[in-house]
Structure 1
Amino acid sequence: MAVASRTKVYAIVPSPRSPADVIGWLLPGLVLLLFCLKPLGPLKDPDAFWHIAAGKHLMQTGEFVLDDPFGAATEKVWILNQWLPEVLMHWAHTAYGLPGVAWLLSLASLLVGVAVYAACRRRSSALVSALVLAVTFVALSGSLSPRPQLVTFALAAIASSAWLLTREDGRARWWLVPLTWLWACSHGMWFMGPVIGGLVVVGMLLERRVSARQAARLALVPALSVVVAALTPVGPRLFTSPFQVSGVTGMISEWQPPGLTDPGLLAALGLVLVVVVDQVGRRRADWTVVLLTVLALVLAVTWSRTTGLAAVVLAPLAAMAIQRVTRQEAPRIPLRERVAVLVAVVVSLVLAGLLAPATAASPAIGPNGLDAGLARVPTGTVVCNEQSDGGWLMLQHPGLRPTMDTRVELYNVERIRAYLGFVAADPGWQDYADQVGCVYAVLGANAAVVPAMRATGDWQLVDQAGGYALLRSRG
């Protein structure tokens, strides 16, 4: 007689995932896709061209501190304190032309996004991290251009996250010292790493997380970071190079305060507000958070070029603040989210590589229609030009000597004012052309000085195309 089994079989039914969970682990990858593909396009940043030319010159000569070999009117020593990314830009340009530089921009922008995402995700859920990452992207959107400043954005995110970990566990992260050396080889704002570290150490001391002796030991990390910065190929001149621009900052738009309606400023201030509201609701202030927030606020409102940097510094703090509102622990990163992020990274870079040859084959600035005419100008000729086209001339026609470019730290204030008066055809504009020794001029056809030059009879129109005029001195 058969005995019926009383064993029950229980089916394991997976718990249903909420829409927030599904959206959460997908969103970071989508925002990172935006970081990679949004900056892709023809090169239009005037600085990008002379950065490429600088990398090429460095590889040919090995000179890190030199008299400018390109400009006809520069007056100060040129210090190549951003040489590492400039060499990378030169290599990309040599291998693949302007599309190669455009793809390098997509890669660098993506790495900035990954660094910010990692800093936020360590302290918040995927959904919160994606939200803060998206706001940070808005704050950075005006600064994601092919320039070495992208290194500062990425490494500032890494440094901020590392120092917040030190605040939590009290461990000194000595690897920040060699990281600062690489930073000092890449961008003039390398000192942000030691500044962030110093503020965190002071904050930990005020919060009584460490003793004075422990704080002194931790302070060795930013102190040694400053020391190793003097050991780059530029040498101790690295410390004086940022001051070269101090006399002309009033004439540089990116060194002016951002407009109150600037989307980047509003995004950065939104992150500031989140952190401030969180701190107001706490029983006692977290001095580390307060100090970093003050630093970020100063960066956001003082200069346009540092607004995005403010958002990068604040991103992990804002992620922590929002996560606390949810009253949940930040979950570990599940495999599906890791895969989604990895797929987004690979797909976005592949897409950028496929799109770059079509979208970035030609520059978006410069007198490209006058290439043939400029190629016929004798090597070594001094050319009066639009400031924004100086780097373009340095790269596209290295034999010519432009009289103005966006390396404003190499010019005196008087020379810049004389140039502005020349372009505007102010009284005495002829003096500028005589002083710098212009033989040719390539200027916007609608520049006030073009008809004035032709009216004197001393300048002859050689060619005109694409909104530019090429003139030659009859003398």
Structure 2
Amino acid sequence: MCTALGVRAVSDPSPWLHLRVAKALMDGQRFGSPDPWSPFTSRAFLPTEWLPSVVAELGYQVAGLPFLAWLRCLGILALLLATTWSVRGVAGRTVSLLCAGAAVAGAWPGLTERPQLVSFVLLALTVGAWWRSAADLRPRWWLVPLTFLWACSHGLWVIGIGVGIPVVLGLALDRRLDRRQALRLLAVPALSALAAAVTPLGPQLLLTPLTYRANGSEFVQEWQATSPREPHAALVLLVIGAVVVLWARSGRRPGWWQVLLAVAAVAATLAMNRLVPVGAVLAAPLLADALQQRTGRRPEPARPAEWRGLASLVLAALVVAAPVAAHVAQQPTRVPLGLASQLHGIPAGSVVLEDDDLSGWLLWSQPQLVPVVDIRSEVYSATWLHRYVAATTAAPGWREFVRDTGARYAVLRTDSPLTGALAARLGWRTLGRDRGYTLLEAP
């Protein structure tokens, strides 16, 4: 099932940017001020997702776009396996598979061809580790090198560190820790933060979780507050609600650390669309534990044969996914491939006013052109982004914005108000159309 649903043509706007970043890093390019790709930025770009980007680029050089589709399938299966391991410590096999499946379903919209998928897999491992530490009060020191790997892969590494804090605080409130035990457990997130600071990006990485959202959150939909009406968010909230109901009916008071994790799951789910998968992963072992407690039986321990069987199924699914990806993912969707030759003919260094969702593909496929904005929203000032958004709706001031960019070409959605305004009011002529996009040239 995961193979059938997980393999598809590349459709997310972001993988193109990651391929371009990886290629630049592999060629020895470095990012700083001024930005090497755009003169309109106000902050230096920090490639926080460099490791999976390089892996994707290396695979792309060998197998093309089908590798990205296969890589997404790998990530989804890895998440299912990691979440199953996370919950297997507190529940039996059947309950664990059910709860892991619910977590993957709740996280589904976020399981795209992007490095954030690595975050969700590593988060599942981290959550499982802290549940085991809560049971035996032993620190899992392997979380420190795991955080180093995570910090080289995606910006949500800070969530992994944050999971340990409510667990230790809750265990202290439950009076299960003495001073020495508490310090040993707290040493894990402390050393994990240190591990993040000694990655190739250095200590500046510690500030990026705050800086990135502050710079561009109002312009990025996935960074905005989640609507509980969204199906995936509703599913995660339903799971947490079921946990609360099971706690109430059991008559057993959950540990404070469990309560705090439930609160964290709700907060993550509602905070922003991007964090709904975080809520799903946090909620899975809570539901598994509550269901297992309902049975009144201790879960049977997982045997090596069980994990070998699951690993064999995952391996078989990945083998099947390879030819499927080669068949369905040769060409991407949601990009105007028909305009590529015309875009390539535009003089190098030309500024192009483009649709934001198309900017990653434009950076990757036409590196000789200069975008007005791109999906690295954190590197642009709020003022510039506000002017860009207003211009795309042909709001007052759009003429001045176009003039200030110096753009002589534009590739925008055909139904965009700005497309019509450029043609009707400034006399820009249409060079071509494809897949809902129009390429225009200034007179």
Contact 1:274–1:322, Cα closer than 8 Å, also in 2: no
Deviations 1:36-59 (CA, angstroms, capped at 9, x unpaired): 442321111111110111111111
* CA distance 1:336–1:224, change in 2 (3 Å): closer
Structure with bigger gyration radius: 1
SS at match of 1:123: coil
Conserved 8 A contact 1:183-1:190: yes
Q: Could you tell me whether the CA contact under 8 Å between 2:213 and 2:223 is conserved in 1?
A: no
Question: Are residues 1:305 and 2:274 paired?
Answer: yes
Alignment match, 1:110 = 77
Q: Is the 1:375–1:397 Cα contact (8 Å) retained in structure 2? A: yes
Judged with a 3 Å threshold, the aligned counterparts in structure 2 of structure 1 residues 194 and 338 are, in CA distance, closer, same or farther, namely closer
Shift of 1:225: 0.8
Structure 2 counterpart of 1:323, from 261, 282, 292: 292
SS of structure 2 residue aligned to 1:332:
coil
Asked whether 1:273 is paired with 2:273, we answer: no
- Give the distance between the partners of 1:81 and 1:447, measured in 2 at CA: 32
Post-superposition Cα deviations, 1:208-256, rounded to whole Å, max 9, x if no partner, equal: 2220222112211111111121111111111222213314312221122
Residue pairs, 1:48-127, within 5 angstroms: 48-61=15-28, 63=30, 67-127=34-94
Aligned twin of 1:365: 334
SS at match of 1:38: helix
> What SS does structure 2 have at the residue aligned with 1:446?
coil
| Inter-partner Cα distance in structure 2 for 1:330 and 1:138 | 24
Structure 1 residues 192 and 257, CA gap change in structure 2 (3 angstroms): same
Matched with 2:218 is: 250
1:177 to 133, 141, 144: 144
After superposition, residues 443-454 of structure 1 pair within 5 angstroms as: 443-454=412-423
- Indicate if the aligned counterparts of 2:269 and 2:275 stay in contact, CA closer than 8 A: yes
Aligned counterpart in structure 1 of residue 265 of structure 2, from 285, 296, 299: 296
User: Shift in Å at residue 454 of structure 1?
Assistant: 1.8
Looking at structure 2, the residues matched to 409 and 250 of structure 1 have their Cα atoms a distance apart, in angstroms, of 11
How many Å separate the matches in 2 of 1:114 and 1:64? Answer: 36
Note closer, same or farther for the CA distance 1:457–1:252 as it changes in structure 2 (3 Å cut). Answer: closer
Matched, 1:436 2:405: yes
Specify the alignment match of 1:347 in structure 2. Answer: 316
| CA–CA separation in structure 2 for the residues paired with 1:125 and 1:66 | 54
Distance 1:364 1:311 in 2: 28
Q: What percentage of aligned pairs have identical amino acids?
A: 34
In structure 2, do the counterparts of structure 1 residues 390 and 430 end up closer, same or farther at CA, with 3 Å as the change threshold? Answer: same
Letter in 1 for 2:151: A
Once residues 217 and 342 of structure 1 are traced to their aligned partners in structure 2, the CA distance between those partners, rounded to angstroms, is: 33
Tell me which of 179, 188, 195 is aligned to 1:212. Answer: 179
Distance 1:155 1:410 in 2: 27
2:384 counterpart letter in structure 1: R
Quote the Cα distance in structure 2 between the aligned partners of 1:457 and 1:295: 52
User: Secondary structure, in 3 states, of the residue corresponding to 1:46?
Assistant: coil
Cα distance change on mapping 1:332 and 1:459 into 2, 3 Å: same
SS of the equivalent of 2:36 reads coil
Q: Any conservation in 1 of the 2:88–2:96 contact (CA below 8 Å)? A: yes
CA distance, structure 2, for counterparts of residue 290 and residue 244 of structure 1 = 29
Which stretch has the larger CA shift, 417-426 or 244-253?
244-253
In the TM superposition, what whole-angstrom CA distance separates every residue of 1:248-302 from its partner, at most 9, and x where no partner exists? 3122211222222212112211221232234333443401101111111100112
Secondary structure, in 3 states, of the residue corresponding to 2:439? strand
Cα distance, 1:337 vs. partner? 4.3
Equivalent residue, structure 2, for 1:421: 390
Kindly report the root-mean-square deviation, in angstroms, between the aligned alpha carbons of the 2 structures: 1.8
Structure 1 residues without counterparts, runs of 5 or longer: 1-32
**How many angstroms apart in 2 are the aligned matches of 1:383 and 1:212?**
60
Q: Aligned to 1:441, what secondary structure does the other structure show?
A: strand
CA distance in 1, matches of 2:434, 2:29: 38
Contact 1:138 / 1:263 at 8 angstroms: preserved in 2?
A: no
TM-score (norm 2): 0.95
Please report the TM-score for the alignment, with normalisation by the length of structure 1: 0.89
The yes-or-no answer on 1:376 pairing with 2:375 is: no
Task: Say if 2:127 is the partner of 1:163.
Answer: no
Comparing 268-277 with 131-140, greater Cα deviation is found at 268-277
Q: 1:245/1:335 Cα in 2 relative to 1: closer, same or farther (>3 Å)?
A: closer
- Tell me the amino acid that sits aligned with residue 115 of structure 2: P
Aligned pair 1:409/2:391, yes or no? Answer: no
State how far apart, in whole Å, the 2-side matches of 1:451 and 1:62 are.
38
Q: Kindly indicate whether residue 160 of structure 2 is the aligned counterpart of residue 193 of structure 1.
A: yes
Deviations 1:180-201 (A, max 9, x none): 1111111111111221112211
Superposed CA deviations along residues 373-427 of structure 1, whole A, max 9, x for unmatched, are: 1111122211111000000001111111111222211111221121122221223
CA contact under 8 A between 1:64 and 1:234: conserved in structure 2?
no
Q: 1:101 to 1:292 in 2, by over 3 A?
A: same
The secondary structure found in structure 1 opposite 2:386 is: helix
Structure 2 gap segments, 5+ residues each: none
